[in-house]
Amino acid sequence: MNGRCWKICAVLMFFSLISLYWGRQYVFGFLLGEVISILIYKRNELFWNEVVDTGVSGKGTGSMHFAVNFAMMGLPMLAAVFVPDYLNIFTVAAGMMLIKAAVVIDTLTAGKE
């Protein structure tokens, strides 16, 4: 991701704070989802850079990596189910889509270079 995309991501994070007017569980859900999505993105970036740099891949390459990624996605959603007073499951899911939304917005609004 380029610098412009990270700026879009920051703006989207700022706009998610607007959900504070509806209740704290919404803003906490967004923030948790956003933090998890950024961690997963950075984790994937490091993993794929290592795979490309070493040139080593096989049938099992990344199976544990992706299992951990799925756990990182599932645990916040599960936490939202058990503590609905502090987290909203829908805002956690929406927060996890933050980086994807930033990339799509960056792609759609990019000028010709």
d(CA 68, CA 58) in angstroms, rounded, equals 18
Rounded to 5, what percent of the chain is helix, strand, coil? Answer: 80, 0, 20
Does residue 77 surpass a pLDDT of 90?
yes
Q: Where are the domains of the chain?
A: 3-50+63-107
What pLDDT, on a 0 to 100 scale, did the predictor assign at position 113?
A: 56
Note the pLDDT tens digit of each residue in 34-60: 999 999 999 988 888 888 888 777 767
